[in-house]
Structure 1
Amino acid sequence: MPKFFDNIKNTFSKILKKKIPQKEGSESSKSSNGTNNSLNQEKSKSTKPKFEVRQIFSAIKNFPKYLWAHKILLFLTLAGITLLSVAIILLSKSSNKETIVSEGTQTVENFVISIPSGAFTYEKSFRIKIPPQQNLQSLLNTGNFVSPIYEIIPSDGKYDMATLPITLRYYFPSSLIGSNDANSLSFAAITTDGKAYNIIPGSSIGKDEKGYYVESNLFVIPRWIGVVSTPGQTLKTGILEIYKTISAEPTLLIVPGSDPGFSGYFESTKVSGISLWQSVFKNRSILIYKYPLNEVRSYNYTTLFNSFKNANPLPSAIIFEAERLAEQLKKYSNIQFDILAHEIGGLIVYYCLSKHPEIKNVRKVAYISTPFYGTNIADPRLAVSIYPAKPSAAETLYNIPQSIIASMQSYLKSYIEGVNIYYSDLIPNSEFLKSMRYLPYRTDIETTAYMGNTPPMSIDVTSSLLERLYPELVLNLGDGVVSKNSARMPYMTLKIFNGSWNNFYVSDEFIQELKQFFEYKLPELPSYKDDTFSEKVTSDKEKVFERFLSAEQVQQFQIDEWKITDNPYIKFIQTLPFTGNQIAVYGGIIYTADEKGLYVSGTKVWDESILNLKETIDGISYTTQTKIFYRKLADAISYNSTSADDSLATKDFAIFAKPRPNERVDFVDETGNLIITLRGVYGKVIYDGNEIILMTNREIYRYFYGIKYTAPIGLYKSYDLTYAIVVDDYIIATTRAYGLLVFNRAGNYAYTGEGWIGNLKLYKSGKYIVAVGDNFITLIDFEAKKIDRFVENVPGVVYDASVWEDKLYIMTSEGVLLYKIG
């Protein structure tokens, strides 16, 4: 390259040395004059020769001709110019300090921003740049920032909320991390006045081919953002000891949610960890289950979580933590626990215990403001219409005072970003919450659900257009996270206290209730007694109607295994693209339903939330918020509805299953008259094609015949029932353990297939009983005592099913799957 530039220099010199013709009378011609000639001679002695302007222009003009005459030099010149241009472009890119992004991914130095398609409901872009850092130098020094502070400016000047999470990533030198368990770096948003910063909850540390990075998801982009470091900080997870004492009382395990104050756990380098619950339960050891909800997730934690997501069809953060909690509880199998769980922590505990019935060291669980059916507060799609609104305009639009609108804007943003990656699990009807519907109830563990009655920050949307949108923010109905409809599972008792979700738990009233719930009495040593005892007297009515099944009869079933794609018993026909998560079929007409309405063959016919869609006598049955309907084609009859676990309407009457305390369920008719009370924690009303069955997880009652059956209880085993039908005077029932229980009127029973019999619903089709599970099918030929087990899963998650004649209809996340039986 130096030779190349030397060649160019020599070329110019040769051209410039050529004699340039001069016009007569020009100033240069005056050199023949003696005076001028002497002056020129003096100048030539004292200075270097100077080219006149016209000489330079002439040289430039002749340069291309010279190059053309010397073609090798021409090509070298062009190549040099090209290389120089490329170098300039690459240099400009490597030092890029500004970019524009609307959707997709853009980079400014080590900072990467990704905006998913559809994140904003209108065309919007952002300008990202590195402003002069001296303007924020005091903040940079105070906050221990390890990155530049980046300025993000929206094209419309509005820092609105997105409907999907926006991802921020910053690549940093590996020397900053210390170890792979460290969580010492996090994104921080600088306040609008530029004088302070706030840590963004839920950042994570990862690594790819470019190196280590810290990443965060958020819904409202701040104006200024950077990365701060807290050297030496490491992530602690799992069950940690807060306070230890020698006591006969069960150990208290705290499982917190997104409210950092609930755990009451504080620690520093000077004192050991302490908890506010120590003052409440002075005689108990106290442990806490820690997981990174507000904290930064370390590289090791992020790696484990990503591996879990890649290996599981439902990549839920709650399921991930539930499985980790299960491992910890098994590790401490020699310790008996009472668990106090809050919000997200409650969902983690519930899934853990329901999915792992082998965990037997938990005595009681108190669920605090746990959104078992989700919370609208976590849904950014709802918040986008409120967050950017001017309070004065929203006051007119929603009929709410400006102060409440302003409080809502702040609260919704802080809650959604506070729960960070967990938000998608908390939205009503999320895939995670749908999966919880099919988990068995742990009736062997005593539980109570608690909630507040006051939304936080003086928010109350009663009698406004937002009342139905946010029931969690209605005074005396919600506490800011849950409403009365979402705070408990059907078998749980719900107790309500004054206050909001993040403060009622410190009230004296609640503390006294909690002490009473967790009360533990030392077992008394039995006093000496002789071997005489009084025998229980059973009435004739109990002998007739309550067949306690104590005489187990061995029953053999032949079992074959098949694939759905290759078997002689059931054939897939087609997938019907119908909306819904419930299904019923009558007369070959397909009815589906969900929280948005009722559909007939895919067309919406009723615009209201639908529950308990099912077959009934000569038609279908379903409930709305205020009514229960019997429908046969276009004919419909309605009755007033009531709060119940389940219900069924016929053209002549309706039946409701209403749980009450002490593990009893009342079955009442449409007028409120009691039909029967059964033992159990939840109730179901079933029409099996021939008769109506009232059942709980413990007992079954044949409505037309007035006969009651009780599931067997043995020394080492009990049977928790999920569904039942009658076949040839036999009761065929499924259990929570995915088994098949068969018993007759005499009280003899047989049990088989535990672990692989579908327990969602049972149907009759010809000679077969069809058992449908959460993703599989079982065919039972009861007369031949033969079970055909299908080991191939059906596509999608199964929500519901129905049978009409020889057709099986399975309502799944992929649509309605239609099969032919036999």
Structure 2
Amino acid sequence: MKKILEVLKNLLKRKLLFIVLSGSLATIVIIFLVLSLINNESVIHPDKQKDITAQALTISIPEGAFNKMKVLQIRKISPENLPGKLSSSFVSDVYDVSPGDGIDEFAMKPLTIKYRIPKNLYLGKEYANLKVAYVPDIEEPVYRTLGGAYIDIDNNGPYIEVEAFHASKIGIIASVPEKQKTGLQLIKENSKSLEPILLLIPDIDRGFLGFIPNSARANVNIWSEMFPNRTVMYYEYPIVNTKSKSYMDSYRQFSRVKGTNSFILYEAEKLATELQRLKNLEFDIVAHGVGGIIARLAVEKHPEIKNVRKIVLISTPNKGTNIVNPIYFGTLLFGKPSEVIASNFSMDRTIVDSIKSHLLFYLESLGPLYREISVSSTLLSSLSETRKDIAYLCVVGNSPPMSIDVKSTPFESFYPELVKGSADGVVTKSSALIDGVESLVVEGSFFDCYISIQFQEKLRAFLAYEPAKVPEYKTETYPEKIPNIQGREIVSVKNVDISTPDTFSITPVMKKTKNMPFDGVIDILKVGSQVIYLRRDGIYSANGKLYEGNFIFPHATNSKMSFYANGNVMSYDGKTFSKLATLQLPANCIDLISTDFGIFSLVKNEKLILYRWEEKWAKMLELDGEYGKFLNNQNVILLTNKNIYELSSNGLKMLLSSSEINNQKISTDFTAFLSIENNAFVGLRSYALMVYDMVNRKYALVAQGWIDPEFLCQSGEYLLICGRSSIMFLNPKTMTLRKEIQKFDGNITRALTLGKEVYVLVDGRVEVYELP
């Protein structure tokens, strides 16, 4: 406060400021009210505002948005009154929104802009190819888009809604229609690499993903060039892009369950689910801005995630940023002549113009997320200490964009993020760097510091990888029965008879009957006629807790459950827990299972290796593939992305190899498996189901692009094909796939059947459904 008073004294000495900036004293007084306004919204309360509607457009003004009652006038603009380029850019009517008092102000709380979507533009709940745009100057053929919009439906039909701090000439623009992508996306795959997957999590700057447009080589990516031996992925979430109806349905369900309205926390929980789902894979995360907050929340609120090795946080606002403060921007800059501000604040006019452009761009792109990364954010204050078992690197730039520098000006008190040498235009050093964590300050702004040579050299060194070694054993006493697949004929005949619909629809097939009274469930298993619920603190049945304590590698086969806890391999037969062996896990163990004929572990080193416990770990076989797991099945099934085996007292028998499938158009990496009589139903990573006749060695691909086969289960006449958020239904007797897809509000971790009942684990809760 003392510093602010000194700033005011200097300002009071400049009489010209009060002549040119009419009402400037009142403006500066508002700055004094900022802290109280943030902490006490009752400081400025005009009379309650009403929604203002004109045909397709509705503007809602929240209480406290302006310091007095504000009336907005809305009128439709005739197409002939728009410049040609603008007229062709919009796919809807354009409305002029103007203040009734003639004073264009920047709101202190965001207005809600709701635009009714014309029927021909709404393509379904999975699509989000529309944006709300506005025209700053009707004489110029330029529009700006507002980030953070979402699509929803009410009794009057579909609409797109967005938050903004001011209104102008408003309409809808459209991009090429495609279903909204969210979650993990692949940039480059290197299935033979032993190095952790490089996972990118962006902010509003799409350039961070590293794609080089108009390059001499197609599909050139900076990150894949920097790390040529790695698989490179990115986490896609709608920060700037519009959110689809389907996305909003899932988000609202999350908000109801968690009791919070936080998009960042929602995305962090989704990321955590993805990391747990892919627990057999190792990741190094490189995150930018808001992406860093998502990464931190995901791993720090979920210590059970053990497959993240290192995290790089680039320009992450760990302690918040003032750049998103709408009161600062509205009071100091919006609507004020740049030449007057420059003259009275001893700044260059071009710098003032740059500041306006930069701040407005970031505020408008971020949308409602501005609340979650402000310096007063409760979400940021909830961040826990960094993980001790994960190595962190914090990086920040030292130069705001567009040559902006407000050092030694009054703006420095309000926007320390714009001071050259100590900030990068969005984040200060003090906000980006974490005590006790390795750090780096590099040349560049928020939007380009990650392409500096200094950063790239540091990143390569920080993410350097040397695979751990697994001790080898000379004895191989366990019998092997592996068919020689190299001499087998390649399967190319695709004439398994199966009926698939021409189109699919989102329609419930199962009827929900109840919710189980459990939350925080991480997995469910079937032991005999019991459903077992696995939580972090122990193992439960419907009657209560059965086992207390931590455990890993739970599996259910042949009506028994096994797991590893406190150095022991344990078994549960539905009545009694038994200790089968005391042993130490081999290094790099990714899965373990106990059977009636032995205890087996799967290790990931340079190759996948299967071991058997014989008073010590004895190597059985090296397996093809980059990932693998034991499946919960009546028989003991070992699945890798390349081969599927059955493990029995007679040895290891190969059931299917991807090398037998002659199809160059899709990935034949396996994700799921279930055999019914002579047919094998196999999930593929290329979003398809393969039906394989194991006797006649024929196969068919089913519903490519529609199916997300994470795991399979059977009940009566149905084979359930379970994806991340949906279930599809196939009759294995008639070989008929139903057209209905049953969607779920959240991510499915597991589904299992008990008679006609289907237990579905969705976002930590267990829902029970009845099959028709």
- Shorter-chain TM range is 0.5 to 0.7
SS where residue 162 of structure 1 aligns?
A: coil
Q: TM-score, normalised by structure 2?
A: 0.52
Cα distance in 1 for residues equivalent to 2:323 and 2:144: 22
List runs of 5+ in structure 1 lacking aligned partners.
1-100, 529-714, 717-822
Q: Which residue of 2 aligns with 1:337?
A: 283
One-letter amino acid matched to 1:234: K
SS where residue 152 of structure 1 aligns?
A: strand
Residue 322 of structure 2 is aligned to residue 322 of structure 1: no
TM-aligned CA deviation for residue 187 of structure 1: 1.2
Residue 97 of structure 2 is aligned to residue 162 of structure 1: no
Residue 239 of structure 2 is aligned to residue 293 of structure 1: yes
Deviations 1:479-505 (A, max 9, x none): 111112111232312210111111111
Moved more, 508-517 or 307-316: 307-316
SS where residue 384 of structure 1 aligns?
A: helix
One-letter amino acid matched to 2:58: V
Residue 374 of structure 2 is aligned to residue 427 of structure 1: yes
Moved more, 454-463 or 126-135: 126-135
Deviations 1:79-133 (A, max 9, x none): xxxxxxxxxxxxxxxxxxxxxx993311101211111122124554322101222
One-letter amino acid matched to 1:398: F
Contact 2:98 2:167 in 1 (8 A): no
CA change 1:273–1:291 in 2 (3 A) is: farther
Deviations 1:406-442 (A, max 9, x none): 2111111111111112100011121111222xx2431
Alignment of 1:682-697 (within 5 A): none
One-letter amino acid matched to 1:294: V
Alignment of 1:442-457 (within 5 A): 442-457=387-402
Moved more, 440-449 or 281-290: 440-449
Contact 2:52 2:72 in 1 (8 A): no
Equivalent of 2:337, from 375, 385, 390?
390
Q: Which residue of 1 aligns with 2:166?
A: 220
Contact 1:471 1:483 in 2 (8 A): yes
CA change 1:118–1:266 in 2 (3 A) is: farther
SS where residue 261 of structure 1 aligns?
A: helix
Cα distance in 2 for residues equivalent to 1:378 and 1:265: 27
One-letter amino acid matched to 2:72: F
Q: Which residue of 2 aligns with 1:355?
A: 301
| Higher RCO (CA-CA < 8 Å; seq separation 6+) | 2
Equivalent of 2:153, from 203, 207, 218?
207
SS where residue 183 of structure 1 aligns?
A: coil
RMSD: 2.6
Moved more, 352-361 or 133-142: 133-142
One-letter amino acid matched to 2:82: L
Contact 1:104 1:117 in 2 (8 A): no
Contact 2:149 2:243 in 1 (8 A): yes
Q: Percent identity?
A: 34
Q: Which residue of 2 aligns with 1:104?
A: 50
SS where residue 515 of structure 1 aligns?
A: helix
Cα distance in 1 for residues equivalent to 2:117 and 2:254: 25
Equivalent of 2:435, from 465, 490, 493?
490
Q: TM-score, normalised by structure 1?
A: 0.49
Equivalent of 1:413, from 334, 346, 360?
360
Deviations 1:220-248 (A, max 9, x none): 322x1111233522210000111001211
Deviations 1:321-359 (A, max 9, x none): 100100111121111000000000000000110000000
SS where residue 367 of structure 1 aligns?
A: strand
Cα distance in 2 for residues equivalent to 1:275 and 1:158: 47
Contact 2:86 2:141 in 1 (8 A): no
CA change 1:256–1:178 in 2 (3 A) is: same
Q: Which residue of 1 aligns with 2:254?
A: 308
SS where residue 413 of structure 2 aligns?
A: coil
Cα distance in 2 for residues equivalent to 1:232 and 1:371: 33
Q: Which residue of 2 aligns with 1:472?
A: 417
TM-aligned CA deviation for residue 257 of structure 1: 0.8
Deviations 1:508-555 (A, max 9, x none): 111111111111123467799xxxxxxxxxxxxxxxxxxxxxxxxxxx
Cα distance in 2 for residues equivalent to 1:310 and 1:266: 41
Cα distance in 1 for residues equivalent to 2:71 and 2:274: 46
Cα distance in 2 for residues equivalent to 1:169 and 1:281: 44
One-letter amino acid matched to 1:244: E
TM-aligned CA deviation for residue 180 of structure 1: 0.9
One-letter amino acid matched to 1:405: V
Q: Which residue of 2 aligns with 1:460?
A: 405
Residue 437 of structure 2 is aligned to residue 509 of structure 1: no
Cα distance in 2 for residues equivalent to 1:205 and 1:501: 30
SS where residue 180 of structure 1 aligns?
A: coil
Cα distance in 2 for residues equivalent to 1:351 and 1:274: 31
SS where residue 200 of structure 2 aligns?
A: strand
CA change 1:213–1:267 in 2 (3 A) is: farther
Cα distance in 1 for residues equivalent to 2:466 and 2:164: 48
| Count of aligned positions | 425
Deviations 1:613-639 (A, max 9, x none): xxxxxxxxxxxxxxxxxxxxxxxxxxx
Deviations 1:459-485 (A, max 9, x none): 111111221221111111111111121
Contact 2:146 2:367 in 1 (8 A): no
SS where residue 451 of structure 1 aligns?
A: strand
Q: Which residue of 1 aligns with 2:181?
A: 236
Contact 2:132 2:149 in 1 (8 A): yes
Deviations 1:722-767 (A, max 9, x none): xxxxxxxxxxxxxxxxxxxxxxxxxxxxxxxxxxxxxxxxxxxxxx
TM-aligned CA deviation for residue 199 of structure 1: 2.9
Cα distance in 2 for residues equivalent to 1:102 and 1:156: 17
Contact 2:92 2:118 in 1 (8 A): no
Cα distance in 2 for residues equivalent to 1:129 and 1:175: 23
Cα distance in 1 for residues equivalent to 2:119 and 2:250: 20
SS where residue 232 of structure 1 aligns?
A: coil
Q: Which residue of 1 aligns with 2:741?
A: none
Cα distance in 1 for residues equivalent to 2:237 and 2:51: 30
Cα distance in 2 for residues equivalent to 1:360 and 1:229: 41
CA change 1:274–1:293 in 2 (3 A) is: farther
Contact 1:102 1:125 in 2 (8 A): no
CA change 1:467–1:338 in 2 (3 A) is: same
Q: Which residue of 2 aligns with 1:534?
A: none
Residue 320 of structure 2 is aligned to residue 374 of structure 1: yes
TM-aligned CA deviation for residue 264 of structure 1: 2.0
Determine which structure has more spread, i.e. the larger CA radius of gyration.
1
One-letter amino acid matched to 2:203: G
TM-aligned CA deviation for residue 294 of structure 1: 1.1
SS where residue 295 of structure 1 aligns?
A: coil
Contact 1:237 1:292 in 2 (8 A): yes
SS where residue 202 of structure 1 aligns?
A: coil
One-letter amino acid matched to 1:276: I
Q: Which residue of 1 aligns with 2:740?
A: none
